[in-house]
């Protein structure tokens, strides 16, 4: 498979309630995580839920970062998708885990891309 991008899916645990429930803090951390990874920030949108929780997306030239928080559980689901060679999604994940005060992170990287013709035929037959 020819990789078009790297997609890190992170489960971030043991975070501080205040950090995950503060929309301004979450927004700042996510934007700075993108910058730490070497990305170019284009746009962002964040929403505060009642009674708690924040969701948001940072659109970068290289793709996106997304988050949804459960402050009452000290948990955040994070998505960092980058294209090209210049941005490292792991730098973004490590930065935000540190800023949220995480005690444990479970993360996996998925290579996103094109399926070769032979593999495409196998998938079509499933």
pLDDT tens across 21-57, in order? 999 999 999 999 999 999 999 999 999 999 999 999 9
Q: How confident is the model at residue 84, as a pLDDT?
A: 87
Closest among 5, 36, 6 to 107, alpha carbons compared: 6
Read off the CATH number of the domain in which 96 is found. Answer: 3.60.90.10
Residue of 7, 15, 63, 64 marked active site: 63
State the pTM of this model.
0.88
Per the CB < 8 A criterion, the answer to whether 74 and 13 are in contact is yes
| 83 in catalytic set | yes
Residue of 7, 61, 64, 83 marked catalytic? 83
Residues 114, 29: Cα–Cα separation, whole Å: 32
Is residue 56 within 8 Å of 48, Cβ to Cβ? no
Domain extent for 115: 2-124
55 carries an active-site annotation = no
Q: Is 15 a catalytic residue?
A: no
The pLDDT of residue 113 is 86
Nearest 5°: the CA angle 77, 108, 30 is 40
Question: Under DSSP, is residue 113 helix (H, G, I), strand (E, B) or coil?
Answer: strand
Q: How many folded domains does the chain comprise?
A: 1
């Amino acid at each position: 498979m020819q990789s078009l991008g790297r997609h890190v899916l992170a489960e971030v645990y043991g975070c501080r309630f205040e950090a995950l429930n503060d929309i301004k803090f979450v927004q700042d951390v996510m934007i700075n995580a993108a910058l730490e990874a070497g990305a170019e920030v284009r746009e962002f949108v964040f929403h505060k839920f009642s009674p708690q929780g924040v969701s948001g997306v940072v659109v970068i030239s290289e793709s996106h970062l997304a988050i949804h928080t459960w402050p009452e559980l000290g948990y955040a689901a994070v998505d960092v998708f980058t294209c090209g060679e210049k941005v490292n999604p792991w730098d973004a994940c490590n930065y935000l885990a540190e800023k949220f005060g995480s005690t444990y992170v479970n993360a996996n990287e998925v290579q996103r891309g094109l399926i070769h013709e032979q593999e495409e035929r196998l998938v079509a037959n499933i």
